[in-house]
Structure 1
Amino acid sequence: MSFIFITLGTCLIVSDTLVPRVARRLSLTKHPNCSTLSGGQAIELLARSGDRRKFPFRTPMGRIYDCCFSFAGLRSQITMSIMKKEAEEGIEQGTLLSCVNDIAAATQHTVAVHLAKRTHRAILFCKENGLLSSEDPILVMSGGVASNQYIRKTLTVLTEKTGLRLLCPPPRFCTDNGVMIAWNGVERLREGKGILSPNEDVCYEPKAPLGVDISAKVRTAGIRLPSGRMKISF
C-alpha cells in the first residue's frame, strides 16, 4: 500500500518556540517549583492552578480561514500583558510576577484552542474532499507539543466530536524534534541503512517539503467552523 502526503497548512511560528519564550520572559526558572523543568513543563505545571479567564488572549488568525498556524500575534499579546503587569506591580523584568499561574493558564489554553480550530478546519476539509479513511480515521499528534496533557485533552474532545480517534505517543517519547531526528540517525547507523561514505557528495535542503502542498486550495475553500464551545475538563 502506498501513501501520499498532503500538506493542508504550515507552521509560520510554532508553539514549541512560543511556550519556552513565554517561560523565559516570565523567568520561571526562578519559581521554586519550576527550577528544574523545561519551559513547556513549567507552563503546564503552573497552568493547573491558574485562571485563564484573567488574561483573555485572542486566538490567532481568527479571520483567516485556512489551516496554517502562527503564534506571532499571541506572543505580542502575552508580552504586552507581562509588561503591563510588571508596571502595575512595580517590578523589573526578571522578577516573578504574582500572576504567573494565570498567564501560564491563558497561554496554554489559547495555544490549545488555536491548534484545535486549525485542525478542526482540516478535518472538515478532508471530509468534504474524501481524504479521510471511511474506517477508523485517526488524527496523529507527535513531537514536543504532544506531551502537553491539556492540548491532548483539547484534541481528544475535537476528535470525539468529529468522529476521529486521537493517537499520540507516550509522553516520554514526545521530545524535541532535533532529538527525534538524531535518534533516527542512531537507529539507521545501527542497522547500516542509508549510511553514506565520507567521500560521497550530499545534497540537502534546509527545509524539505512534505508531499503535495494544497494549502492554497484549503484557503480558497474558506471553511468556517460551526459555532459552539468545547468543554475541556480534567
Structure 2
Amino acid sequence: MSLTLGIETSCDETAMALVADGRLVAERIATQIDAHALFGGVVPELASREHLRVLAPLLDDLLAAAGVGLEDIDNIAVARGPGLLGSLLVGLSFAKGLALATGARLVGVNHLWAHLTAPALEMDISYPALGLLVSGGHTQTYLIRSPLDFEVQGRTLDDAAGEAFDKAAKTFNFPYPGGKFIDVIGQRATPDKSMFPRPYVNNDNLDFSFSGVKTAVVNYVAAHPHLRLPHMPEAGQDVEDLLAKAGVLDEFAEVCASFNWCIADALRIKVDRALTAVKEQGVTSLVVAGGVAANSVIRRVMTELAESHGLTCVLPPLRLCTDNGAMIALAGEKVAQAGWKHDLDLEAIPRGRAIPWDYQRIVEEV
C-alpha cells in the first residue's frame, strides 16, 4: 500500500489528508472563515499566518487519527497553485521540509485539476469527460482525457462565478461567505428571469465573464436600498429570521432566486456549447467541481444538461466541493503512480500564471 499525504493551503483553508490507493484514510481541516468574516473577505496576510500557525498541529492530529508515522508516507502532495502566493509558499515550504526529512517523493499539484479529480474519491469518473470548474477565483471548462490530461476549452475573462456570488452577498450585507445564503434563501421563491442579465452569453465562444452581472446587482440594490441589511448579522444569528422580522424575506427570496438562476443559466449555455464542441472526442461524462458546485441550482441545472446529452453528471459530495486536502492527496497519488515527481526547487504559482508541466521522471533505485 502506497500512502500519500496531501497539503492544501491555496487560500483560507488549511487542510491535510492521507490517501492510499485512491481511498481516503483520514483528513483534517482548519477553517479560517470566522477570522476573515470580520473583514468581509479573505485577507491574504492573515491567511498566511494562520496556515503557518496550524500546519504542524494539524499534521500531528492527522497522523494520530490514521495510526501512522511520517516514515510510512511515500508521497507528499502539495497544492502549488493557483492561489494566494503567501499561502501557497507556507504550504510548499512545509511540504519540502517533510520531503527532505523523510525522503518521501514531493509532488506539486495543480489545485484546479485536483478539484475536478476529487469526485473519484467516492465514485468512478468515465473519461474522456468535460469538466466544469466553478469557484470563487475560477470558472473554466476542460476536456479531460485522463486524470493527468486537461485541455482548457473556456476560461474566465474577468470575474468568476464565485466572485459574483460573493459580491452580491456583500451588497446585500450577508455574512461572509454569503453564497450559501443566496442559495438557501432563493429556494423560497420563483426566479424572475428578467431581473438580471445572463452575463456574456450573446456570443459564440466558450469563455465566461461575470463582471457585468456584479454591476447589475449593485445597481439594483442601489435602486432598492431596503434590499441591503442595515448591519451584517452577528455570528450565529439566523439571516432568514432577521429578514422575516424586517418584513423583506419574500422580496429577498425573489432577488436571490433570480440571481441564482441568472448565474446557473449562463453556465448552462456555455457548458452546453462546450459539450457540442467536444462531441467528437467521445465525451462520456460531465464533471462539475469547485466551491460553487455546492450550489443547489447549479447542481440541478448541470444534472439536467448532462442527461439531455446522454451523459453521466459527476458531482462531488458537498464536503469535497470546497478546498480540501483529500483532493490534493488523490491528484498527487495519480501523478506519482504515473511515474512523476518534483524536486525541491518546485515553485509556487499564484493566480494569473499558467502552471507548467515540470515534473521529473521517478527513477527507482535498484
| TM-score (normalised: structure 2) | 0.45
**Alignment size in residue pairs:** 189
CA distance in 1: counterparts of 2:169 and 2:210, whole angstroms: 15
Of residues 155, 166, 169 in structure 1, which corresponds to 2:316? 169
The answer on 1:124 being equivalent to 2:263 is: no
Cα drift, residue 120 of structure 1 = 0.2
Q: What is the aligned partner in structure 1 of residue 169 from structure 2?
A: 23
The answer on 1:149 being equivalent to 2:281 is: no
Alpha carbons 2:173, 2:229 under 8 Å: kept: no
> Which one has the largest radius of gyration?
2
Cα drift, residue 131 of structure 1 = 1.5
Q: What is the aligned partner in structure 2 of residue 159 from structure 1?
A: 306
Q: What is the aligned partner in structure 2 of residue 216 from structure 1?
A: none
Alpha carbons 2:320, 2:327 under 8 Å: kept: no
Q: What is the aligned partner in structure 2 of residue 42 from structure 1?
A: 181
Cα drift, residue 80 of structure 1 = 0.6
Cα drift, residue 148 of structure 1 = 1.1
Q: How does 1:1-234 map to 2 (within 5 A)?
A: 3=146, 4-12=149-157, 13-29=159-175, 38-53=177-192, 56-86=195-225, 89=226, 94=231, 98=248, 99-127=251-279, 130-133=280-283, 137-175=284-322, 179-180=323-324, 184=328, 194=341, 200-206=344-350, 207-209=353-355
Cα drift, residue 162 of structure 1 = 1.5
- Read off the aligned partner of 1:84 and give its amino acid letter: A
Q: Which has the higher strand share?
A: 2
Cα drift, residue 60 of structure 1 = 1.0
Cα drift, residue 201 of structure 1 = 3.2
- Read off the aligned partner of 1:184 and give its amino acid letter: I
Cα drift, residue 56 of structure 1 = 2.0
Cα drift, residue 91 of structure 1 = 7.5
CA distance in 1: counterparts of 2:227 and 2:287, whole angstroms: 45
Cα drift, residue 204 of structure 1 = 4.0
Alpha carbons 2:227, 2:252 under 8 Å: kept: no
Alpha carbons 1:116, 1:154 under 8 Å: kept: yes
Identical positions, percent: 23
Unaligned residue ranges in structure 1 (runs of 5+): 30-36, 212-234
Cα drift, residue 28 of structure 1 = 2.0
Unaligned residue ranges in structure 2 (runs of 5+): 1-126, 128-144, 233-242, 358-366
Distance 1:163 1:47, change over 3 A: same
- Read off the aligned partner of 1:119 and give its amino acid letter: V
- Read off the aligned partner of 1:25 and give its amino acid letter: T
Alpha carbons 2:171, 2:228 under 8 Å: kept: no
CA distance in 2: counterparts of 1:90 and 1:184, whole angstroms: 40
- Read off the aligned partner of 1:107 and give its amino acid letter: F
Alpha carbons 1:57, 1:106 under 8 Å: kept: yes
Cα drift, residue 117 of structure 1 = 0.4
CA distance in 1: counterparts of 2:208 and 2:274, whole angstroms: 12
Query: Over aligned residues, Cα RMSD in angstroms?
Result: 3.3
Cα drift, residue 107 of structure 1 = 1.1
More RCO (CA 8 Å, sep 6+): 1
Distance 1:56 1:210, change over 3 A: farther
| TM-score (normalised: structure 1) | 0.69
Distance 1:162 1:185, change over 3 A: closer
Cα drift, residue 54 of structure 1 = 7.4
Cα drift, residue 39 of structure 1 = 1.1
Alpha carbons 1:50, 1:105 under 8 Å: kept: yes
Q: What is the aligned partner in structure 1 of residue 100 from structure 2?
A: none
Task: Between 91-100 and 141-150, report the one with greater CA deviation.
Answer: 91-100
